[in-house]
Structure 1
Amino acid sequence: MLIMCLVFISCSESDDYVPLVVEENEELSGGNATSFIFSPDAFGFSVDGLSLDEQITFGVGNSLFNQNWVTAPASTTARDGLGPFFNARSCSGCHFKDGRGRPPAFEGELAHGLLLRLSLSGTDQHGINIPDPIYGSQFQDNSILSVSNEGTLKVTYENITVTYEDGNSVELQKPTYEMVDLNYGAMDPSILVSPRVASQMVGLGLLDAIPEMVVLSYEDENDADNDGISGRANYVYDAESDGFKLGRFGWKANQPSVKQQIAAAFSGDLGITSSLFPDENCNGTLNCDEIANGGNPEITDENLDKVTFYSATLSVPARRDVDDEDVLKGKELFNTIHCSGCHIAVHETGAYEIDALANQTIRPYTDLLLHDMGEGLADNAPEYRASGVEWRTPPLWGVGLIETVNDHTNLLHDGRARTIEEAILWHGGEAEEIKNRFMALDKEERGQIIRFIETL
């Protein structure tokens, strides 16, 4: 009788059970532009389908991305002109192995891919933020030998404990940023400071290839569907066209193209001028005309285009363990609590100047829109249409390999979150209700969502 009862219960439960299955090609995060190498070099491979000439361009761009720039004048004229102020000597100084930066691990350590944007209230004729009159639009803690650096970045943390309904708790760290030992006088007392950490480089060209009309279709500025999510697009100044375009790149969607994102990094992070940003990254208290430079501009259009091509054609690592039962359950829960309202999984790229990136089904887990993330993550520094509490939804592809590539797991715009769980718990604003749903899950279910995200 007992055996018959057990059989009856088992059959009854199986009739109601709907097995979770893998979607077709779900592991192909970048479509045909997906790689299957999961080593510490996982972020550094080109997409398949490049022509021989494109492969050569990728290789030269890779070299320019990784080589250190040097002080002018130098015999290596193709890469001299560093500074006079800078945050890194190469692109890879912030994006080591094409990966993600992090804040200083201890007091006195230089930041590895974390920088501070500076701005005052108001904008210029292009809608660009007004910089500090002395320290400019970015704080630089490095300088060439003949010039004193701007000062030192200091980060301190306050511990905040978050407790789940089941009694488990997590300790978050809330950062405070200071710029100390300033060498050129006090900053404007009304300065707005926005910390930004370097993100992994994969898939930039694929994001650029998503048609604008698709991105705009996700806008819901007034939350017409009453789901609590009201994403909106940023429109930003495009130096090449001298007009405004949809912002896609950067933590506040403040750059319209891969090329301008790269040129802005050369200017702000390395002090290298280009045709897009021709002004020397100098300091109003110095006689900048007396400081040698590497030409005008310091990176040629040809070399800038090669670094841009390299950055656009870095392949996206494939998903791992897509058929794992816990991963499938985590994906279901991710969608059920509506994380997918902003982190939209599937997109189709359209026609694109790089054939290998055109017409691909990709899974970046972003909508590329701005969202209110609450006061806990606010920098209070507007940028174009982005307010001081808004951030672009970051793509999640590659997030599970950051530890493999960069030996850390720091997340969010300033790297304050040391784990995926901490990053979720910092969500507020439009994501407050979604965070609360996550917190109401039991420990196993929370772990399944995290396990799913780790496969991205």
Structure 2
Amino acid sequence: MRVYYKLFILPLLLFITSCNTDDSYTALTPEIGEELSGGDNTSFNFSAEAFGFAAPNLSFEERVTFGVGNSLFNQSWVTAPASTTARDGLGPFFNARNCSGCHFKDGRGRASAFAGELSHGLLLRLSTPGTGVNGGNLPEPTYGGQFQDNSILSQMDEGIFEVVYEPKVVTYSDGTTVSLRSPTYTFPLLNYGAMVNNVQISPRVANQMIGLGLLEAVPETTILALADPFDTNGDGISGKANYVYDIASGTNTLGRFGWKANQPNLRQQVAGAFSGDIGISSSLFPDENCPTGVDCSQIPNGGTPEIDNANLDKVTFYSSTLAVPARRNFEDQIVLEGKQLFNEISCTSCHVALLQTGNHEIAALSNQTIRPYTDLLLHDMGDDLADNTPDFLATGNEWRTPPLWGTGLIETVNDHTNLLHDGRARNVEEAILWHGGEASPAQERFKELSSSERSKIIAFINSL
């Protein structure tokens, strides 16, 4: 009996000890379908081409249109007149020769890495105080609404701009420091004279192209339901909708594209990029961009307009139907703990995880459950990130919440990890530390976390 008692109690003690150990930790589990960031429009290719795949649920005919749009997106435009009449009319002033010059591999641009290097997807919007035609900005009198540092051979380019960085040190609660970089923009060469003293300079980095059609398919009522411009719930977050001019309809409507949500739809966004970035006219933007003293009417062009509606629509379709890469490591415990902390410090107050699309003319984009981590609203991000440039209803401190999907693949696709509207943040950590204004409480909570906890949040964001 004594022997039996000893054999019985030992396994029991081991069992009790084992249970106590297991009770100290509960494994987290992902949500059902959490890896499907773009719903049915999700891709599982994580290579250097990760941002360039068509949504898998397109029809055969739609895939043909996607392919043509892809070709137009990547083709280099040439100076007019040329034998290749379908792609002549470049400039006369421009920033890039094709769409992929800023969105390389459909990805994200960056600021110049050294003085004198031409931009790789960073451009400078120019304006002066006041409201222009249809509620937009007043252009700088000499250089217009965008500084163009390239030109065709018969013209001098507008000049050169450089980015100069000053260090800004941030200290965590545990005493660890991080040195951020604060940019200043200078113009060592201006070929058409000085700018006005009150010029407003707004840097804008080209963002990754994925999932844009899905964001267009989110119902306006969904976005407006997330808005709280007067912070009536008292949480310190006052998301605001921008209302902008829709050229095709001639009306003011909800803005949802661009760093300040200053474009109402993808077609106008694409046409605006053709005009400002490449110097290609369209039915929406028929005028050439020329600095004061240059007569554009005397410079050969590629037709009126230089890109017709059929081709503009193909590029718009392509831009609408790029698949969203799936989440990686979404079942990993560190990533799941990072997601939980991301929620706990209130990052999801602006970076809303889950949205539902409504009906869209492209059937593949309709009625999809997506996880873009944005509310598509404007938020005051504080003085440090301000460009001091109003844009329709956006103030100089306000920016649209950028979608976070694809963040962890930017390095794979574009060989850098620069973030924020001007690329000043060299990684996710720096981007978080630049958050101010409405995001200050979340940023302060992040700074109070342990090094391990901060790393988990970064791991989560890089899984998106």
TM-score, scaled relative to structure 1: 0.98
1:31 to 17, 22, 39: 39
Q: SS state of the match for residue 135, structure 2?
A: coil
Query: For 1:311, which of 294, 316, 319 is the aligned residue?
Result: 319
Question: Which residue in the other structure is 1:377 paired with?
Answer: 385
Q: Distance in 2 between matches of 1:259 and 1:180?
A: 35
Is structure 2 residue 333 aligned with structure 1 residue 298? Answer: no
| Cα-to-partner distance string for 1:59-88 (whole Å, 9 max, x where unaligned) | 110000001000000111111111111000
Alpha-carbon shift at residue 264 of structure 1 (Å)? 0.3
Q: Which amino acid aligns with 1:22?
A: P
* 1:129 corresponds to which of 137, 152, 156: 137
Q: How does 1:173-252 map to 2 (within 5 A)?
A: 173-252=181-260
Select 2:338's aligned residue among 311, 330, 339: 330
SS of 1:171's partner is: strand
8 Å contact 1:150–1:184 — kept in the other structure? yes
1:238, distance to aligned residue in structure 2 (A)? 0.4
The alpha-carbon deviation at position 124 of structure 1 amounts to 2.3
Aligned length: 456
> Counterpart of 2:433 in structure 1: which amino acid?
L
Q: How far has the Cα of 1:128 moved from its partner?
A: 1.1
Task: Give the SS at the match of 2:337.
Answer: helix
- Paired residue for 1:263, among 271, 276, 279? 271
| Alignment deviations for residues 161-205 of structure 1 (CA, whole Å, 9 cap, x no partner) | 111111211110000001221010111111000000000000000
Measure the CA separation in 2 of the matches of 1:331 and 1:5. Answer: 36
Distance 1:263 1:442, change over 3 A: same
CA distance in 1, matches of 2:252, 2:194: 34
> Superposed, which structure 2 residues align to 1:416-431 within 5 Å?
416-431=424-439
Question: Which residue of 20, 24, 42 maps to 2:50?
Answer: 42
Asked if structure 1 preserves the Cα contact closer than 8 Å seen for 2:192 and 2:292, the reply is no
**In 2, Cα distance between equivalents of 1:93 and 1:85:** 15
Shift of 1:54: 1.0
Shift of 1:3: 11
Cα distance change, pair 5–231 in 1 and its aligned pair in 2 (3 A): farther
Name the residue aligned to 1:455.
463
d(CA) in 1 for partners of 2:417 and 2:358? 33
* Separation in structure 2 between the aligned mates of residue 130 and residue 6 of structure 1, nearest angstrom: 76
- Normalising by the residue count of structure 2, what TM-score does the alignment of the two structures yield? 0.96
* Residue 432 (structure 1) aligned to one of 427, 437, 440: 440
Q: Is the 8 A contact 2:27 2:333 kept in 1?
A: no
Aligned: 1:70 with 2:89: no
Structure (1 or 2) with the larger CA radius of gyration: 2
Match of 1:118 in 2: 126
Q: Does 2:104 match 1:96?
A: yes
The answer for the alignment partner of 1:140 in structure 2 is 148
Query: CA offsets, 1:116-164, max 9 Å, x none?
Result: 0000111124001110111000001000000000010111000111111
Unaligned segments of structure 2, at least 5 residues? 1-8
Q: Which amino acid aligns with 2:61?
A: D
User: Residue 401 of structure 1 corresponds to which residue in structure 2?
Assistant: 409
Match of 2:291 among 283, 299, 321: 283
Q: Find the residue that maps to 1:181 and give its secondary structure.
A: strand
Q: In the alignment, what sits opposite 2:3? A: none
- Please, which runs of 5 or more residues in structure 1 have no aligned partner? none
**Residue pair 1:69, 1:90 contacting (<8 A) in 2 also:** yes
**What secondary structure, in the 3-state scheme, does the structure 1 residue paired with 2:389 have?**
coil
Q: CA deviation at 1:268?
A: 0.4
Rounded Cα–Cα distance in structure 1 between residues aligned with 2:380 and 2:19: 47
- Poorly superposed stretches of 4+, deviation over 6 Å: 1-7
Alignment-derived partner of residue 412 in structure 1:
420
Alignment-derived partner of residue 355 in structure 1: 363
Q: Where does residue 321 of structure 1 map in the other structure? A: 329
Distance 1:30 1:385, change over 3 A: same
The 10-residue stretch of structure 1 (440-449 or 167-176) with the greater mean CA deviation from structure 2: 167-176
Q: Residue 451 of structure 2 aligns with which residue?
A: 443
The residue aligned with 1:390 is: 398
Alpha-carbon distance in 1 for matches of 2:435, 2:132: 32
Contact 1:57 1:309 in 2 (8 A): yes
Shift of 1:406: 0.2
Question: Once the two structures are aligned, what percentage of the paired residues are identical?
Answer: 65
Residues 272 and 281 of structure 1 are in contact (CA less than 8 Å); yes or no, is this contact kept in structure 2? no
Task: Note closer, same or farther for the CA distance 1:335–1:9 as it changes in structure 2 (3 Å cut).
Answer: farther
1:135-174 map, 5 Å? 135-174=143-182
Q: Is the 8 A contact 1:237 1:244 kept in 2?
A: yes
Query: Over residues 26-75 of structure 1, what are the superposed CA-to-partner deviations in whole Å (9 max), with x where a residue is unaligned?
Result: 00000000000000000000001212221111011000000100000011
Shift in CA distance, 5/157, structure 1 to aligned 2, threshold 3 Å = farther
Q: Distance in 2 between matches of 1:48 and 1:397?
A: 17
**Residues of 1 paired with 2:66 and 2:202: CA distance?**
32
Give the AA of the match of 2:297. D
TM-superposed deviation, 1:9: 6.3
C-alpha separation in 1, matches of 2:73 and 2:59: 21
Q: After TM superposition, give the deviation of residue 348 of structure 1 in Å.
A: 0.6
